[in-house]
Chain A
């Protein structure tokens, strides 16, 4: 499984855009990039997942360059409630369908602790 490197912590003011970059130099061809958010004493919550280029959903955008050796999670106009730990993960994807592979075991790093203040 590819190892990921991300900043230990980041600070932001409410209303700003926050970009968290993750390095994954050894990403494999079949790996997807997934970001989770975790609040204290809660389980990780899925934010966004992508394979290449750009993915956007209602809460975030994920930018992946052509070489896929890094990715950037972008949170637009953060609020105090976005204060959390953000994890970047890469994992193998044997393929769809019940006969083609296993369910992934996720390898978490230490994550990025985002602190949002007024």
Chain B
């Protein structure tokens, strides 16, 4: 039973560039959430996708956008990268409507902005 997988594991970009991160949810899950985790901090919710639509969004600017595909996998896009975007980006999957069931996390993509 495959868990949540994310790619790439590490990425280095420069300010102003754009980046795309990818996530495949755990088998059987249909909802994907993205989180940003700065060094020494807890993960912060970015947004959540279900049925290829953004359902909830945290306090992140429009530079952060996403997409969900018919197979439930998801992408996180960040435009006009800033130094402050350096973080571990985590993807979590769950089953829509069963919000008291735990979310399953991938091991993240470490994004470094130079």
Contacts and interface: CB of A to CB of B under 8 A. Distances in A.
Interface of A: 32, 34, 36, 41-46, 49, 87, 91-111
Contacts of B48: 102-103, 105
Contact of B31 (A45, A96, A103): A103
A51 to B, nearest CB: 8
Interface string B41-63: 11111001010000110100000
A106 B110 contact: no
B108 A108 contact: no
B104 interface: yes
A43 B108 contact: yes
Residue among B55, B100, B105, B107 facing the most chain A CB atoms (10 A cut-off): B100
B100 A93 contact: yes
Contacts of A34: 102
Contacts of B33: 103, 105-106
Interface residues of B, number: 33
B99 A108 contact: no
Contacts of B110: 41
Given A105-B58, A106-B43, A43 B4 contact: yes
B69 to A, nearest CB: 17
Contacts of B94: 103-104
B99 A102 contact: yes
Contacts of B108: 41-43
Contacts of B50: 102-103
Given A87-B42, A102-B55, A105-B48, A49 B31 contact: no
Nearest to B42: A108
Contacts of B43: 44, 106, 108
